[in-house]
Structure formats: C-alpha cells, structure tokens
Structure 1
C-alpha cells in the first residue's frame, strides 16, 4: 500500500488528506526544535516519529476514510462530539480505536528491558508515558488496583495494533527511528539530565544532613535523618515529573501545530515559529523611548537609577534575580529593560533566548502593562507580532477538535500572562495548557508582584522554577516591593534557590527610604467602621487632599460605600465619584481609568471606590488613600497609588476595618489581615513617639515570616483523594500513599493531580459581556464559521470578558443571565455569553437583571 494512502487527518469540507508519514515527520521536526532548548532534540524527534503509529492500523484507516466532515480525528477513548446520523456506526467504533498506545509499547519494548540500569529504565518509562498520553493527558502510573502503566504496556495487540503497524511504517520514518535508537547520544542526553536532577537534589539532602549533625544531640536525629532522605527522594521524583511534562509539552504542541497547519488555510504562514523581530531592534526601541524621560525630579532620578541597575544586571548572565523596588519605582519598564538586554546578549549562545514571559497576578493589570509595552516595542510593520496577551479562559478545558485550532501556544517574543495561566501550563491536566510549558525553557520569566502567588502553590512553584532554571536554561526575575521569602520556606519540599547576592538593587533599604512618599496611619478600631462612617471619612479626606482612593476587600462593601458617598454629595457637587471592580470587563475598566486619570491630571476633585483591582500595576496618582485592613503586601500596593510622583513630601494612607466586611470566601485576604494585625499590635506596643515606619523592610519581612509560618501546612497544595488526605506535591513526586509496583521508576499520579489542580480554590470561568464593542463581537462569533477568524475574535473578546466564580456562575445560570454560544458553525466549541440586561454600565456584571439591580451583591 502506498504511504500516501495511510491517512492521519482529513480537511473539513474538502477532499484533502494528510498522510501518517507526513504527519509523523513534520511533528518530529517541531518536537525536535522544541525539546532542543533543554538539549533533548533527539528525544523530541523520536517522540514525534512514534506518537501516532497506531494510525497505520486498518481499523483506524477504515474509520477515518468513512468520515464525511471534519471531526475529532485524534482523541481516542473520549466521548464523541455531535456527529451526523450517517456516521453513527463508524463513530461508535471510534472510541475503541486506540492509536496512541502502539508508539508507547514500541519504545517500551526497545528501551525498557534493562532492569539494572535504573536511569535508562526511568527514561523508558518516561517516554512511554508521554506517548501513551499525548491525546488525553498524562496517566496515573499506579492505583490501588495495581500497575496502570504495565497494564497499558501489556494491552492486547488486537487493540493497540502494534504488530500490524510495525510492518506498515514508512521506510523513512523507520530509518530515522532506528538511527535515533542506535545513537548513544539520543538516550544518553536524557540519562544525563535525569542524573543532573539527582545530583542537585542529593547535594541539598547532604547539606540538610550536615545541618542536622550540628544541631541534633538526641534520639530524634535518626528519625529526622530518614525524613530528610525521603524529602530528597521526593524532590528528585518531582524533578523527574517536571522533565516528563516538559517533553510531553514539546510533543503535544508539535502535534497540535502540525495538525492545525494542515487543517487551516493560512495557519502555517501566520505562525511565527520563533522568527521574531530581533532583540537588538526591540532593545533599541525601548532605549529610544526611555531616552525621552527627564530626570527633573528626585523620583525620576531614582527611577532612572533603578532602570540602569536592571540594564547592568544583564551582564551577570542567565540565572535567578530579585528586584525589590517600592511601588512607583518604574519596575515594569526596568525589568523589561533587563530582559531585552539579556536576550540581546544571548544571540550567539547555542540556544539563544527566544521569549520574554511577563507574569502578573491579575487579568486586571495585564491590560495597561501590555498596552504600554506594545506601544513601545511594536511598529506598524510588526503590529500584533511582538506582544501577546494570554489571560482569559473563554474555552472549556475539555477541548473539542475545533477548540484545538483556537488555543494559544505563546508564539511571540514578549508574552503577557497571569499567574493562573502560567501555573496551569505547569500543573493542569489535559493537553491544552501544557502546550505552553516548553516555551518557558530558555526564556526570561518575569514575575511582577510575586507576593501574590497563592500560598498552596509555594512548593510546587519553587520546584518547577528550580527545574526550569537548572535544567532548561531559563532566567527568572522576581519583582515586588514585598519579597515573600520563597528562599526561606522548607527545603524538604523545595524552596527557591537564591540569595542576597541575586538582588539587582545594591541597597534596597536606602532605596525604600528615598522613595518613601506615603505614611501609613493605623486607624483601625474596636468594632470596626460602619459604611456611613467610611463614607464620611472619604468625603472629609477628599476635601483635604482633593483626590482620594478608597480600596476595600469585597465587591459588596465597595458598592455600598460608593452608593453611600454618592448619596451624601449634592447633585451639583464638583466631586466625581467612581467605582471599579473585577466584575467590570477590561475595556470597561479602561474607560473608567482613563476618566480617572484625566481628572487627576487636571487636579479635579475625585473619590474612587474600588476593590483590589486598583492596586498592583495600575498607574494612577491620588492625593491620599483609605485601605481596608489586609496583608502588608496589599497595603503596600494601595500606598503605591498615592503621591506616586512625590508632589508632596509624604501623603497619608489610612488603614481602617469595615465592620461588615465578610472575608469567609477570601481566605488569603483573611489570613493576610490576621498576620498584619499581629505586626500592627506589636508595633503599637513598642511604638516610640509614634514614629515607627509600618512598612519598613524589616516589618515587611516580619509580616511574611508570620504569614508563611501560620500557613506552612498549606504550601504543598492539600487535596482530598480516594485514599484520604493528600497533597499535590506528593502526587507529583513519590506518591507514597499508593503502593509502587515492583520495579516501577516513574510513580506520579499525573492524571489525578491534573484533575484536582486549580490555581484558585474556586476556579473562575470566562464569560463574554455585551459592553460597547462586546455586543457586536457576540454577534460576529455567532455567525463566523472560519476557525482562524474565530480565533482572532476570541482574542479580541478577552477585553470584553469577566471571570466569575462557580457560585456566581450557578446563580446567573439559574436566572438565565448567561447562555452558551456555539462557535465555528459546527456546534462543537462553545463559550458563555452574559445576557445584555445583566451588565450594568456603572457596576459591571450584575447578579440580577439591571431592572431589578440589588446593591447587596455577594
């Protein structure tokens, strides 16, 4: 049979097919390039050549040739999407046609026979797991019922078709597979990287054991010694899990990209494939922009010095860095200057830096940062090709065939994304998000406001970053005014490996003193403040300082306070009262922020009532502020929105405690407030004349020591599984609560961990709102049937989307406030749309129809 007659994919609505041979070869080329950043190009190529061997089987060929239309031609063992009546019989076979196990069995038979070489056996298991899971996601290795991995490797030949497909592999594919397997370099590089991870973790273990020898002088030392060794083994296996995911990411993205390029006209041409505008050009554009900044004030001179320090730090080369700068210090552009300078210096390296990934905690602050960076780095010639925003999940994770065509894989030189998206690329289940993980290798990853990392993610985050730094050539920059001591958490479960020498700013304490522009005043009182009292305070402070920013912790209090202030001011008052919250879509917030900045620049009276969306990364400059008591990191961020340009020597920020602020759903804010109260109480007891600087570096460090100590048991991501209480850290390392089958090296419960993973406890869902252009976007999405155009529309729709929590989603669904919209004209991929009458031009998303708007929204 001619190789072209073995079909891998069919085009939609036209008689064109892609052969299995061509798909395997093209996937191998991409996977090789993606994995080469970690020195594993040969392994990537091998995975690409083997991943769809099962498609050579007569069963699969009979199935795909019977299709009349564009369907999910890859997923095996998944439920079908909507299909035509004509294909029901064929499609009923589809879930039984396994085309992913054959490649896994092939590699296992080739490499898994040497039981004495534990590193080679580990490599064999790793590659087999990757090949077996490249459509549905990585599997659990074992369960209470036994060895799931071995069960998959011993699956009947009649179901996997290995014997059959081995005789049908094209000569070119077979030749390249044989050469890769025969090459000592291919597997030895993977073995070397596995050994590198072991050596690194063994060194940490030895260091801990030496510390124990010095400290212990009783019978508990032996027990502690065993605990340290077990912890070292767990870190090793966590690192091996990261390596597995990296290679999995390279294969999945290569497979998806190759498929999309065949199936969608213009996709291959639109893809940049790392052929980006040069770093020297981008660096020059930023330098040209910065040259127009004057150093006419002390604040601007300090910002210039910070920026210069960042540029100079690039001379140190790749690695991990901290940038501890007060709010208003210009760290966004300064950190980008560092990244561009370092990237520019890497062009002659064996693996030059391809990407800068800028990670922010909230979708609400990506808009402004990405827009400013785009304005600086893009010209008309490369508009839309330099800066990519990726920050909203409008599609379901259980991705359909059409959904694959719409997903992003960070194919741009500068990517702005959120903590949620970044962490999902590392830890979520399935195949969509993990496509992005390999893009982190060899990249510069900037974490702005790193203190916002969810507490349960601490050890997972540190372990993953250590892997990216030490094994994949990544560079990491941690930016914040309040460094959260990620190098000080328990080494047993993984702490981030950096020290004081990795700080970019030579004298952070002096810098903080120089940039101190806000004085924190603790105005909390027993019993707290009523809404009326807070409203009176805001009006009084506005009269004194012209502009006042009041930030509270909940949407409910923000709305009540806004309404109270507005009701107390005369209709003809010159004072503008505005409201901001995360229930407003990015485009709506931008409209309001533009209005705020106009009044601030004109020195017109204004009171802004907001939730914490007004904090990190928002460039505004109020005369004074009121902040509901929260963690010190939040208070610092709020203070950074006041007296930003140093127009006064200092401006006051008043800390208050609203009486009816319910934080039961906001666990992190509640815990931060508790640690802050402890520090404030200690300061009030030890105050000497009331001159204590509440937000000194020492007090911020003390705050994080209290906060981390109180929550140390939460840092491994606690979960409930079928076998009781567990942690994601354990599931992704030794997985000790499930018996490890004899001889098995890889132990992780990848699928279970992925299914349990959510960055936030109540994962949000993106809903498109019909605000301004959003209404027309909804209409266009309903009518458009070109997948490439739908992708562009969805990208634009991120500016008109609001992320809602499950309880909000359920309430809206019950009252018909949201509905599903099918995309691509196939009824396969869907997004959620908010009904127009549930979006208020003042408050944003409403839980009731605007005609019945309730101000008491939880």
Structure 2
C-alpha cells in the first residue's frame, strides 16, 4: 500500500509519507546545523508526520480529496501526536536496573524538546505544565490512545529508517544536546531549553512548509542549500564594493572637508575596523545625522564576508524607517530581489489548533488557508528590514507564523536601529533573545542609536562585553555635532491646539520650515485641521501611522522637495518621524516626552549643521491624553524634572541636556521607575513572562503547587508554560489588525492589490501579492475595527483572512477615516 502524505492539487500526484519525512528531515538538518543540532532538528523532521502511517489517516486524506465540497470534519484524525509519543515511550520512561543516569536525562530532555515540537506543528509549543496544573504535553504523549500506533511505528522502521539506525541517530542527537547544554554561559537549564525548543520548532515548521510548498509547486529544487555560504559571501562582497563606491563618492564631494563630514568619515572607518573582530554584541552611538545607515551597513557587509554570515537584518522601531533605510540600501546594492521589507503581517492570525487537535484537512488539501500558510515569508532573504514588533514576535508570540523565522536569525548580522525604542515591558525578553543569538546562534548584534539605553542596568542583563562601542571619544563627537539649541518652554506653561497653531504661525515669520512632533495621533490631526483652515499658500503635511507606508513615503518625498528648494513647509507628525528619518527642518517643535525622544527630534533640525545654531522648542501640549501611554507619560515627567534641574544649575548633566551623561542618568531613572514592568508582568496570572518561560523548579510556583495538590512530582524535567506565555504576549498592549488600504500612485496600486485578492493565485503569486501589500497596509486597534464595521468600511477576502478598507474610509491627507466619508482634502495655510 502506498502511504500518502500529500496529493498535489494541479495533477493529483502523490507525495508518500516516506518521501515527505525524509525530505523534511534533510531540510531540518540544514537548519539545525546553524547551531550544531542537525540531528535534533532532523529527528523532529523525520517523526513529525509519523501518524500519517495509519489506516485511519489514509482513509481521511482520500476522502478529503475525493469530496472537496463535503470533506471530513477538521481535526477528526490526529496525525501529529504519534512522533512525540514514540519518543516519550522509548526515551522518557526510566529503564529498570543499571543505566547511565546522565544519558537517561539527556534522552528524556530530548524527548520533551523534540516531542513538543512534533505534537505542536499545527499549533504552537504546548505547556509542559499550565496555570491550571494540567500538562497538555503529557495528555498527548503519555495518555492519549492512538489507533494503529504500533503499526505506524513498524512502517516507519521499514520505509524511513531502520530501527538500529534510528537509535544511532537518536544517540547523535543526544550528544548534540549534551554539547549544547555545556556551552559556557550563566543561563539556567530551563532558559537554555526554552530557546532550544523554539529553535527546533522553527526549523521543523519551516522545513515542513518549505517541502510541502516545493511539492505543491512541482519544484524539483531542494532548498536546503539556499543559504550556501559561498553564494552569500560573493553577494555580500559585491554589495560591499558597491557601498564603498558610494562612500568614496561622498568623501570626495563638494563638502567633504567640513567638520561633520570628516567626523562621518572617521566613524565609518571605525565601524569597518570592528568588522574584523569576532561576533558579539556591539554598540554604535553615532549622533543623529552622523551617517549611521552607511556606517552600520559597512560594518555588516564586511563582517558578513569575513565570518560567513547568511543574513543582514535591520530591526527598526517604526515602519517609516524601514521604507527610507531600505530604499537607501536598495539604491546602494542595486539588487531589489535580495532585499525583503517585512512591515507587518498582512494576513490575519491563522486559526491554530484547538486543544491540541490537528487541522489535517488544511495539511492535505491546498485550499485558501493552506496557500496563505505556505506563502508566509520565512526571512530567508540575504538582507531583511523588519520592525521591533516582528522581531519580538518571532521569539515570543503565539502561532507558527512568526516562530518559523527564528532559525534564520542565526549566523546573521542583526542591526537594531534606534534600539532605545525597545518597549520597556519587553526589555528582559529582548535581552534574553539577544544573549541566545550571541552565545548559541553565532550572530553579531549592533545596538545602533544616538541615545544608548542602559540595557545592562536591568535585572536580566544584556551579555555585553566592555569596550564594544564602535565610536571613539563619544563626548567629543557629540559636542562637534551640536547644531541646535534646546529651548525649554514646557516648564513655563502649557499650550492647547489653538495656542500651538498661533506659535507655529509666529515662527513662520522667521523660519521657512517647521516640524511639529506631538505624542498622540488625535492632537496631530487636530493641529493639522486647525492649520489647514482657509486657503493659505504654505503647504502643511500630516504624518502618522494612520497612513500606509506608500502614503507616508509620498508625503516625505514632497516635504523633502520643499526643503531642498528652500520653500516654506510645515509638517505635523507623531513620533514616527523622529527616529531614523533623514530629513532636516529649520525649526522643530517637540511636545514634552522622554529625553531620548527630545534628542531624536533634535536630529531632524539643521541636520547637516549648515545654518549655524537652530532652535528646538520643547512645549507641553495640554490636550494630549497619555492615560494609555504609560512609558511616554513617565519619560515626560523625568524630562520635566531634568529641565528644572538645568534651570536651577546650568552645569547639571555636563551643561548639556543631550550629553551622554544626561542620557545615562535619564535611562537609569526611567528603568528604575518602570522596574516592575521590565519582565513583562501578566496581571491575569500575577506572573512575569520570564517566570512562565524559564523559571527553574525551585522558583516555579506551578511546579510546587502541582506537588502540593497531587502529592507527586511532575514526571517531566521541564515544567514551563510556552503556550500560555505566547497567548499573553503583545509587543503593543492592544492587539492590532492589518488592513490593506485603497491608496497608491494615481489611486491605483492599493486598489489593484485589493482587486487582485479576488482572483485565483498560485502560492508564488500570492507570496508576491502579499509582499506588495505591505506598502499599502495600516494596523488598526480593536475599537477602530469595531467602528469601521459599524460604518460598513471593511471588506474581507480569502475566507476572511485578509481585510481591506473601502475608499471612503481612507483620506488623501491623513489616512484612516473611521467615519467612512472621506472627500479629497487640501493642505495649505
């Protein structure tokens, strides 16, 4: 009998279970090689679909294919438990008599780590022990009876790997686990196992879906060599040569000998010198306007060539920075095909398994859901631009979509642009992820910002060595880059929208370009409306996350054109413009916020220092509602006190509110104020996320409660809550939904993407379409989605997995319009 894993939609060709398991194993081994665990990940790949060797499943898949309009009930056959159950039975139950205790522990841990990945490959890693003191893991691998299990195991030994060879393979995996655990660092075993579990799960998910996609597309190419070192090295060498052409042109240009340009050259050369040093965690504290993008790329490309890295990944706080920096890098490397911009997840969260049951129907029949699942990107591109939200989601968010990318963070150069924007409640989780990437995944990490946060001041410290700052003599560099004066108006009085509008108009008498940065979208929109009343001649522009990336790009390009030609212009923006956007105004007005935000806002004023000293006014906007913006509110109060200190004593903080000393003091006060939030506290459970993920047995309150309640110890080495932690994880406090908007050049492109979603696409075409859609997507909060629903402003596509706005719900000037009544608006004062 031919045992079927998949049946191709186009020609009904069969992929056998043996073919799928062996091909998935091969891919998984290649992914595991990155951190020295090829047999561990290969074991997961080889066993994940063991349950497809049952008569029950074979009947199920044939019935599903023969009756596409009336398929069998989803989840009515369990195929993903069998592989985990086999490992548990063979290696977790303590043998009788004499045995090697250490070998037993290694094999038992192996069965837990790999078994969890296998039973979860249609969902997310299960809890070993959950808050109700139940173990979904044991429910599956120990307690669940599986019809035809013994016969499936016999077929596995017959068709996939002979029994003695399988045991030798497991022994090799056990040796890898022992080596992994012995690596020198201060990490507890539970934390090590948590990251190992997630890496194995990532490798399995990507290997399984990649093999399935290749089969479905009838693609004979096995993608195991897609990350071949020589290919990447040649590519990065070519990019490096093209970058040096650009740098040499700049350094021989008309203004190359100015003080700032000479400093830029010096700092760029210092970055290259660091590229020859072994991988680790570095800081790059180039002041705003110091050529950070080119300098960090110079380090990354040279380091990638020298140490055979596979990816260069830029992680930024806002999508605005992705758009600008990605375009700058794209122009340098002249290779659009190998640069991926990943802004957000266009597809709505996939429906995962319920109570550990499988969605086999979606695994064997390539329907809309399966195409979307296979089309999602795994970050295998050589150069990737993504956001901090997406980076943290890879490690900690629920569902298989995000974690699939984790293994591609290894053997990489990862540059965190504007790292001070790491959300405070995620700092410990962020530090732990970076420590893993440095110690186990051979990745080199650059913390890049003009305002370095004190990430080693928190309890879960960043494992950063001394003398890792790339820029020499920072205080001297900061002084030389000083080109603005910070004017404190915030401690004198507050301003409402009307008074602020008057202040803007007053400054326009002396300065031709003004940038106003406020803390909330509501006051930005109100000020925009106030300044655009009437029919003036000075253009006013609005920027916020209510606008899609393509829209913001167009606005920024128009603003830059006005600035370049010295024409009057006003831009009103949320904080998205203050980090990493290469733009320079004559004057900046910044609503009071954290000192790092003040410094970043100052970087948008007189950026190249050509006009002497210009003013950055700090005001206090009385109409901003910061009740739900705790971090901004606390940063604002610390900054206010520091301004008051300077008023009393001009020598405070080295006499400069933007000095390195001032920033260090600010961040220490800020993290002290937010100390209870740093480990991601979950109010519903009264637990920290770090405890759920990695608490050892002595500190694990659920483990102790299990013993107290049941009178016996939990029969597992691991007792952590991977699934529960993931379900409670949100980088942004309120869940958002990605919506495609009808915006584009000539009002066509966004509309065209929405129209194309109605058609039938191959997996490849759908992947391309979803990537294009990134530029025409915004993220909306739950209350906004509810209001749009009420106003009939949403349409859904692909079985409700993708949402789009109607035309009336998107405004040409400021984006999202919840009322769904957008006209074409003007923008002049």
**TM-score, length-scaled by structure 1:** 0.87
Who is 2:543 aligned against?
580
- Asked if 1:449 is matched to 2:418, the reply is yes
Who is 2:153 aligned against?
166
2:315–2:391 CA contact under 8 A, matched in 1: yes
Who is 1:370 aligned against?
326
Question: Using the alignment, how far apart are the partners of 1:468 and 1:446 within structure 2?
Answer: 12
Q: Mark the CA change 1:10 to 1:177 in structure 2 (over 3 Å): closer, same or farther.
A: farther
Question: Using the alignment, how far apart are the partners of 1:165 and 1:467 within structure 2?
Answer: 37
- Asked if 1:126 is matched to 2:113, the reply is yes
Who is 2:303 aligned against?
342
Q: Within 5 Å, which residues of 2 pair with 1:651-730?
A: 651-687=614-650, 692-721=655-684, 724-730=685-691
Structure 1 position 429, deviation (Å): 1.6
Structure 1 position 538, deviation (Å): 1.2
Question: Using the alignment, how far apart are the partners of 2:652 and 2:244 within structure 1?
Answer: 46
- Asked if 1:409 is matched to 2:361, the reply is no
Q: Within 5 Å, which residues of 2 pair with 1:700-779?
A: 700-721=663-684, 724-734=685-695, 736-739=700-703, 741-771=713-743, 772=747, 773-779=749-755
- Say which SS state the counterpart of residue 698 (structure 1) adopts: helix
Structure 1 counterpart of 2:436, from 427, 451, 467: 467
Question: Using the alignment, how far apart are the partners of 2:814 and 2:142 within structure 1?
Answer: 59
Question: Using the alignment, how far apart are the partners of 1:851 and 1:516 within structure 2?
Answer: 43
Structure 1 position 273, deviation (Å): 1.8
Question: Using the alignment, how far apart are the partners of 2:430 and 2:566 within structure 1?
Answer: 43
1:180–1:186 CA contact under 8 A, matched in 2: no
Structure 1 position 499, deviation (Å): 4.0
Question: Using the alignment, how far apart are the partners of 2:220 and 2:175 within structure 1?
Answer: 36
- Say which SS state the counterpart of residue 505 (structure 1) adopts: coil
For the aligned residue pairs, the C-alpha RMSD in angstroms reads 2.3
Who is 1:814 aligned against?
790
2:321–2:580 CA contact under 8 A, matched in 1: yes
2:214–2:220 CA contact under 8 A, matched in 1: yes
Question: Using the alignment, how far apart are the partners of 1:767 and 1:156 within structure 2?
Answer: 41
Q: Mark the CA change 1:440 to 1:182 in structure 2 (over 3 Å): closer, same or farther.
A: closer
Who is 1:74 aligned against?
none
Who is 1:332 aligned against?
293
2:30–2:224 CA contact under 8 A, matched in 1: no
Q: Deviations over 1:633-684 (max 9, x none)?
A: 1111111111111112321100000111111222221222122122222222
- Asked if 1:284 is matched to 2:264, the reply is no
- Asked if 1:200 is matched to 2:200, the reply is no
1:679–1:702 CA contact under 8 A, matched in 2: no
- Asked if 1:836 is matched to 2:807, the reply is yes
Question: Using the alignment, how far apart are the partners of 1:239 and 1:542 within structure 2?
Answer: 58
- Say which SS state the counterpart of residue 12 (structure 2) adopts: coil
Question: Using the alignment, how far apart are the partners of 2:221 and 2:755 within structure 1?
Answer: 28
Structure 2 counterpart of 1:593, from 529, 548, 556: 556
Structure 2 counterpart of 1:95, from 75, 87, 90: 75
2:654–2:662 CA contact under 8 A, matched in 1: no
Q: Mark the CA change 1:624 to 1:134 in structure 2 (over 3 Å): closer, same or farther.
A: same
Unaligned runs of 5+ in 1: 70-82, 203-234, 347-351
- Say which SS state the counterpart of residue 284 (structure 2) adopts: strand
Structure 1 counterpart of 2:461, from 490, 495, 504: 495
1:456–1:718 CA contact under 8 A, matched in 2: yes
Question: Using the alignment, how far apart are the partners of 2:654 and 2:425 within structure 1?
Answer: 36
Q: Within 5 Å, which residues of 2 pair with 1:148-547?
A: 148-159=136-147, 161-169=148-156, 171=158, 173-175=160-162, 178-179=165-166, 181=168, 184-196=171-183, 200-201=185-186, 235-265=188-218, 268=221, 273-275=226-228, 276-277=231-232, 278=234, 279-294=236-251, 295-346=256-307, 352-379=308-335, 383-384=336-337, 386-398=338-350, 400-490=369-459, 494-525=460-491, 528-547=494-513
Question: Using the alignment, how far apart are the partners of 1:258 and 1:731 within structure 2?
Answer: 33
Question: Using the alignment, how far apart are the partners of 1:114 and 1:86 within structure 2?
Answer: 46
Structure 1 position 108, deviation (Å): 2.1
Structure 1 position 550, deviation (Å): 0.8
Who is 1:229 aligned against?
none
2:426–2:679 CA contact under 8 A, matched in 1: yes
Q: Mark the CA change 1:156 to 1:800 in structure 2 (over 3 Å): closer, same or farther.
A: closer
2:127–2:135 CA contact under 8 A, matched in 1: no
1:576–1:607 CA contact under 8 A, matched in 2: yes
Is the deviation greater in 642-651 or in 259-268? 259-268
Question: Using the alignment, how far apart are the partners of 2:165 and 2:446 within structure 1?
Answer: 42
1:848–1:854 CA contact under 8 A, matched in 2: no
Structure 1 position 747, deviation (Å): 1.3
Following TM superposition, the consecutive aligned residue runs of length 4 or more in structure 1 with deviations greater than 4 angstroms are 265-272, 688-691, 851-855
1:553–1:611 CA contact under 8 A, matched in 2: yes
Structure 1 position 85, deviation (Å): 4.4
Q: Deviations over 1:8-31 (max 9, x none)?
A: 011225321211011011101110
**TM-score, length-scaled by structure 2:** 0.90
Aligned length: 778
Who is 2:778 aligned against?
802
Structure 1 position 271, deviation (Å): 9.6
Question: Using the alignment, how far apart are the partners of 1:804 and 1:242 within structure 2?
Answer: 31
Question: Using the alignment, how far apart are the partners of 1:843 and 1:182 within structure 2?
Answer: 59
1:527–1:659 CA contact under 8 A, matched in 2: no
Q: Mark the CA change 1:744 to 1:668 in structure 2 (over 3 Å): closer, same or farther.
A: same
1:585–1:802 CA contact under 8 A, matched in 2: yes
Q: Deviations over 1:606-631 (max 9, x none)?
A: 11111112111211111111000011
2:27–2:223 CA contact under 8 A, matched in 1: no
Question: Using the alignment, how far apart are the partners of 1:465 and 1:851 within structure 2?
Answer: 45
Who is 2:55 aligned against?
58
Q: Deviations over 1:765-797 (max 9, x none)?
A: 110000121011111111233232122111101
- Asked if 1:86 is matched to 2:67, the reply is no
Who is 1:213 aligned against?
none
Q: Within 5 Å, which residues of 2 pair with 1:98-109?
A: 98-109=78-89
- Say which SS state the counterpart of residue 732 (structure 2) adopts: coil
- Say which SS state the counterpart of residue 782 (structure 1) adopts: coil
Question: Using the alignment, how far apart are the partners of 2:342 and 2:808 within structure 1?
Answer: 28
Structure 1 position 600, deviation (Å): 0.5
Structure 1 position 516, deviation (Å): 1.1
Question: Using the alignment, how far apart are the partners of 1:9 and 1:300 within structure 2?
Answer: 60
1:119–1:194 CA contact under 8 A, matched in 2: no
Who is 1:849 aligned against?
820
2:342–2:386 CA contact under 8 A, matched in 1: yes
Who is 1:212 aligned against?
none
2:43–2:170 CA contact under 8 A, matched in 1: no
Structure 1 position 110, deviation (Å): 2.8
Question: Using the alignment, how far apart are the partners of 2:475 and 2:167 within structure 1?
Answer: 55
Is the deviation greater in 734-743 or in 275-284? 734-743
Q: Deviations over 1:166-218 (max 9, x none)?
A: 1212645213882563574431121121232xx5227xxxxxxxxxxxxxxxx
- Asked if 1:33 is matched to 2:18, the reply is no
Question: Using the alignment, how far apart are the partners of 1:687 and 1:467 within structure 2?
Answer: 43
Unaligned runs of 5+ in 2: 96-100, 352-368, 707-712
Who is 1:205 aligned against?
none
Structure 1 position 489, deviation (Å): 0.9
Q: Mark the CA change 1:678 to 1:266 in structure 2 (over 3 Å): closer, same or farther.
A: farther
Q: Mark the CA change 1:298 to 1:465 in structure 2 (over 3 Å): closer, same or farther.
A: same
